[in-house]
A and B are shown apart, each in its own frame.
Chain A
Amino acid sequence: MTTRTAAAIVSCAALLAATGCSSNFGSGSKTEQDTGSRQHLTVLIATSGDAETKSVKDAAAAYAKQSGNSVTVEVAKDMNQQLAQSFAGHKPPDVFYVNSDQFANYAKAGSLYAYGDRIKDADDFSAQLRTSFSYDGKLVCLPKDTSTLALAVNTDLWKKAGLTENDYPTTWDELKAVAGKLTKGGVTGLVTTNEYQRLGVFMKQAGGWVTNPEQSKMTSDSPQNAEGLGFVRSLLKSGALKYAQQVDTSWGGEALGKGKAAMTIEGNWLTGAMKLDYPNVKYKMVELPAGPSGKGTLAFSTCWGVAAESAHRTAAVDLVKYLSSAKQQLTFADAFGVMPSRTSTLDTYARQEPDAKAWVDSAAYAQGPVTIAGFDKVLSQFNTDLQTLSTTDPKTILAALQRNGEQALTKGN
């Protein structure tokens, strides 16, 4: 018995030693830079569809032709998992999409090469997004594009309810009035998802937000936030606002397309989805109504990350410069409906896509995403709590968010 146990322990130890030595984890030393004139770059993207994949591949090919480097574009199936694995294995792609909710985790771990100081015209990118993609006061990566939230109105249902173009809501009171008027039969005035990524616009319009602008302190339990969610709650209670799930849809665009919603709050991706799934539904985009503290909306973005462990950092930054140039951003905008992240390009974009005017105009006052390490679960818990907003006091929900956020902040720093 004892010999058997001993043998087992010895073989376990041998196995440990064998894999431990040969494991691919490697050391944490600085990656040696490749200085050759023809370098090979790999790009990992999480695509929204074939259109995006094709245009990124085309752009990469054009860059390869111009620079002499070669570029391979790969499409991730599960971006978070694939990136985490490649970082742990010390073989990350050179350039990749970084989602705003994962940005802080990667930046904190030192996986991202902060190339912001190598971009001369970085000021051209929207200020809110630059804040979101900065870590420790340094701009880490460039936002590849942006999208904002605006109000989508089903024009047929609008007319049917006896409303005209002059009735597009510009204040909370007007929104409440038209949403009530539009709610009848199988139609709900306003349908949106129960997440802060949509309902947060009301917090912003009331003058509040989850954190302070520097993202160093939680400001969730402010009376402004409570006022914003209180307004949502009053709409929920009157039945003029319903969550997408309550009307058997998975998001606002589906509710709008199926005629279950007269209005919804969505971003630029709505255009492509409506064209594809509900080409016959007529709708118009208008800016979100202003709250007690003026206009407010949210902006979303993904940035071009360059791996700290890439052996081709200079070439990678060069590629990012090419991909985020004004010309290339306009090409992307045309191909898959995103908005340029350069403020100077927005005007050109607005002329190119007149229907997207509401989104473009919203960019001026949009709030960027929350990017704090370890905040994913805090915010998803907030979304979970928002589901019960019609039966729970907003102050309770916001107090929980404040508490959870503060804990994550202290743990993260």
Chain B
Amino acid sequence: MSPRTTRATQNPPGDASPVSRPHKAGNPGTTGSPDAPDASGGSGPTTAPHAGRAPRAGHRHADGAWGWLFVSPMVLVLGLFLVLPILMALWVSLLHWDGQSNPFSGQAEFAGLDNYRSLLTQDGLDRTLFATSLRNTAYYVLLTVPLQTALALVLALVVNQRMLRGRSALRTVFFFPSVTSSIAVSTVFLFLFQGSGAVNTMLSWIGIKGPNWFADPRGVLSLLLGALGLVDPDHPTGVLASHSFMGLSWYQWLSGPSVAMCTLILLAVWTTSGTFMLIFLAALQDIPRELEESAAIEGVNRFQMLRYVTLPALRPVLFLVLTLGLIATWQVFDQVYVMGQGAPGNTTLTPAFLSYSAAFDDADFGQGAAIAFVLLALILCMTALQRWALRERNAGTGRNR
């Protein structure tokens, strides 16, 4: 990476003046990574010319101390408001705590893994609801993430065209949904997608009778299969209906996002693509002009330029956008809270909302915390999987980004 090489040139051998020390130690503080001081402070000096000098070790120790001093406010804030609450919530997830006493005094009954068991292995309402929320969100993520990434990329490519007129106006327009409050947008969508709302009125102009979007719990895949005559959506039979997993029949798992959920997906894609467009745009403008010019001299066409020059250059940003999208979609809450709180038929229920309602509506904070931790584990697994899928295959050295 470039900072390392520049640092080496900035610190020629022999330049051990103490003035440069605080600067070096302070630098990582601005990047916000507590790992950085030792890494950067260590890599430069340990290179061959300085390896033998004894006093360096003491300096390095001082560097570390300075580094910790400079990052300590951030560490303290993160520790107090992030790490500590997470540990507390982890403890609560092991209790039957109703929120009325001190969870750290032993008044709340210790439940061990009971809360997790009732979510994952015990047959009952808790597991059925949790499985339903997982199914809903899986479809939500599966559709939203690729759609919003693709749309954002296309929009970024469009507004990055130098020849395009009114580029900045278009950028503003595309970005606009992202700066609007999600609560406000959700409310507007509620009106647009009413049974007799604007969307259905427009559909009726071309002869389509739109569904009653937010009141329609039918899964779109099951509707599709029903239209093909493969299954009867109202009375499913056969293998799909007779087997079940986590309290939901195979048919229920495979019925797809409900019509109501599809509007939520549409909303998410529309509101988030602007933000991601901006990230892609910044990366696009960072691609060296020479790279494109030399490719042009080689005689590539536009598609080849996109496939072999632009996209590879965007890989790290693509990873960022996919990760952000994945995390945000698994945690979707506010739209659900506004648009139906799980209705119709629990088909817009998401783990985040279920966690909230378990804690505050059922006074079962342990269960709510357990849901949150299962969700966390799930997101971590997904991100690891995605990191593995997007690794640099030609690097060969096993170096990760």
Contact = CB atoms under 8 A, between A and B. Distances in A.
Contacts of A407: 124-125
A388 B98 contact: no
Interface stretch (B308-316, B326-334, B342-350): B342-350
A28 B99 contact: no
A105 B215 contact: no
B100 A12 contact: no
B353 to A, nearest CB: 12
Interface in A369-404: 373-374, 376-378, 380-381, 384, 387-388, 391, 404
Given A4-B38, A25-B102, A28-B107, A81 B360 contact: yes
A413 interface: no
Contacts, number: 109
B38 A106 contact: no
A3 to B, nearest CB: 9
A248 B100 contact: no
B364 A387 contact: no
A404 B84 contact: no
Interface in B36-62: 38
A23 B101 CA distance: 13
- Size category of the binding interface on chain A: 35 or more
B118 to A, nearest CB: 9
A246 B129 contact: no
A40 interface: no
Interface stretch (B6-14, B75-83, B295-303, B388-396): B75-83
A374 B361 CA distance: 9
A376 B104 contact: no
A28 B102 contact: yes
Contacts of A4: 38
B62 to A, nearest CB: 14
A11 B75 contact: yes
Contacts of A408: 125
Nearest to A26: B102
A404 B105 CA distance: 31
A80 interface: yes
Interface in A231-254: 243, 245-248
A181 interface: no
The A interface is mostly helix, strand or loop, or mixed, namely helix
Among the interface residues B87, B99, B234, which one has the most CB atoms of the partner chain A within 10 A?
B99
A27 interface: yes
Contact of B363 (A20, A84, A245): A84
A391 B99 CA distance: 39
B122 to A, nearest CB: 9
Please classify how large the interface on chain B is, using the bins under 10, 10 to 19, 20 to 34, 35 or more.
35 or more
B100 A381 contact: no
Interface string B362-385: 111000000000000000000000
B217 interface: yes
B125 A248 contact: no
B212 interface: yes
Contacts of A88: 99-102
B342 A384 contact: yes
Which among A4, A23, A384 has the highest number of chain B CB atoms within 10 Å? Answer: A384
B99 A246 contact: no
A377 B68 CA distance: 48
A404 B363 contact: no
A109 interface: yes
Given A84-B363, A381-B346, 6 more contacts: A84-B99, A88-B102, A109-B101, A109-B363, A374-B364, A377-B362
25 contacts: A4-B38, A7-B68, A11-B75, A27-B105, A80-B361, A84-B100, A84-B360, A102-B363, A106-B100, A108-B98, A109-B101, A109-B363, A111-B100, A245-B344, A248-B194, A248-B196, A373-B363, A374-B363, A376-B357, A377-B361, A378-B125, A380-B342, A384-B342, A387-B345, A407-B124
Interface of B: 38, 68, 75-76, 79-80, 83-84, 87, 98-105, 107, 124-126, 129, 194-196, 212, 214-215, 217, 234, 342-346, 357-364
